[in-house]
Amino acid sequence: MLNSLISLCFVTLFCVSAAAASRTKIYSINGHEGKFVSSPPAADGICRSMVQSQGYICHEHTVTTQDGYILSMQRMPKARSGKPADIPPVLLQHGLLMDGITWLLNSPNESLAFILAEKGYDVWIANTRGTKYSLGHTSLSPNDPAYWEWTWDELMAYDVTASVKFVHDQTGQQKLHYVGHSLGTLVAFAAFSQDKLVSMIRSAALLSPIAYLGQMPSQLARSAVDAFLAEDIYWLGLHEFAPRGDAVAKLLEDICQKPGNNCSNLMSSFTGQNCCLNSSRTDIFLEHEPQSTATKNMIHLAQMARKGTIAMYDYGNEDDNMNHYGQPTPPVYNMTKIPKDLPLFLSYGGKDLLSDVKDVKLLLGNLKDHDSDKLVVQYIKDYAHADFVFGIQANRDVYDPMMAFFRLH
């Protein structure tokens, strides 16, 4: 039961920092440092396992990034009735330790991908590098430490860029709507702040928006960040962070023993008290999630939480930063540089311990000069981090207002 609860907690952004050192301990004991532990990609893919079984047409695609990662992508071009999409494309970008199945886990009348397809949208589902169906590379194997040498900087610069361009090109140069959750919002904010992707984006809906993490109130996540656990595991040679397995339980037991940490409900302790999850879908979730990421990615997120800034990866000393960036400190992503006429729909929750209200307000302060008719901000008092993608009422509370926003743009 503990392992199931632990795995379930990884639906969210920062539990992974807590798990990192656990894998270090297990592999140090068993002598398997550096071993690739992700599940091998299944032959059937997301279309067959999650979409076609519900009666929808679904096509599998692959996208190769400029740095050689081969990503899977799914397209749902028709409603279940067979009616072709007649509304511009929408790209769905998942968060950390998840993949595109995020948007398909609930029933068709509760899952965003199905809902959008029924409304006539041409739905595209992205899967970032390192996840089960995006393990390919033109020259590297996931067994190679170099395969895992990336952070969300690269997800922004390569994965999201390649995915957006692919949809744009495959749909006759149509501008597309973008929907991101959690880490999927962070990479979008970073790209927009550098004026990337904007020419191909019709609008962006950003759920549980992550830009700043400095005021994150989750005590368990904060304990993991402050202990520099991700840094420890990286320097021990474990460059892939795989959240499945007994290693997670062992580390969380250590963290839970620290004063002030309440582990009676791991999901709530990490993400906030989610109001509206469908507990009957837990087994389906655990069949597919959580997914691996790079340990270096976890270090980057921990840096953000400690410093309260949104900047590129810090290599830890001025010389290395100079070699990578030409300056002694990492460049900052300036949120005030997001184009003021880019249509944005932001939805955040009052119970979210990861996309904290104070951090979201800091972000909104940077957007204070945004064109008023191009920015919609929705606050849902009872929502926590997972409610935005797995909540049984999200179709009414979040997706209906979001689609109304899309229709305006």
Nearest one of 166, 382, 136, 115 to 274, comparing CA atoms: 382
More confident residue, 200 or 36: 200
Range in 95-104, 171-180, 241-250 the model is least confident about: 241-250
Residue 219 has what pLDDT?
79
Q: What is the mean pLDDT of residues 122-138?
A: 97
pLDDT at 211 over 80: yes
* Confidence bin at 44 (pLDDT 50/70/90): confident
- Dihedral Cα 95, 98, 100, 105, nearest 10 deg: -110
What's the average model confidence in pLDDT over 210-217? 92
CA distances from 273 to 13, 256, 381 (A): 15, 18, 11
Three-state secondary structure call for residue 369: coil
pLDDT at 100 over 50: yes
Q: For 209-236, give one letter per residue: b (16+ CB within 10 A) or e.
A: bbbbbeebebbbbbbbbebbbbbbbbeb
Would you say 93 and 184 are in contact if contact means Cβ atoms under 8 Å apart? Answer: yes
Position 77 scores a pLDDT of 97
Show the tokens assigned to 7: 């795995």
Q: What distance in Å separates the CA atoms of residue 255 and residue 246, rounded to the nearest whole number?
A: 15
Q: Which two tokens stand for residue 311?
A: 């900047």
- How many Å apart are CA 37 and CA 49, to the nearest integer? 22
- State the chain's mean pLDDT as an integer: 85
Greater confidence (113 vs 289) lies with 113
pLDDT tens by residue, 357-368: 999 999 999 999
> Quick one: average pLDDT of 63-73?
98
- What pLDDT does residue 376 have? 98
Whether pLDDT at 62 is above 90 = yes
- Statement: residue 188 has pLDDT above 50: yes
Catalytic residue check, 385: yes
Closest CA to 241 of 29, 34, 5: 34
Model pTM? 0.88
- Quickly state the pLDDT bin for 33 (edges 50, 70, 90): very low
**Beta carbons of 98 and 11 less than 8 angstroms apart:** yes
Q: Which of the two residues, 394 and 272, has the higher pLDDT score?
A: 394
Among the listed residues 352, 356, 359, 387, the single catalytic one is: 352
Whether residue 381 is predicted with pLDDT greater than 80 in this model: the reply is yes
Q: What pLDDT does 371 receive?
A: 97
Q: How confident is the model at residue 238 (pLDDT cuts 50, 70, 90)?
A: confident
**pLDDT at residue 95 is higher than 50:** yes
Q: 3-state DSSP call for residue 62?
A: strand
**Is 182 an active-site residue?**
yes
Catalytic pick from 7, 134, 163, 182?
182
Kindly tell me if the per-residue pLDDT of 32 is higher than 70: no
Q: Which of 2, 11, 12, 18 is nearest to 220 (CA)?
A: 18
Higher pLDDT among residues 16 and 230, named by residue: 230
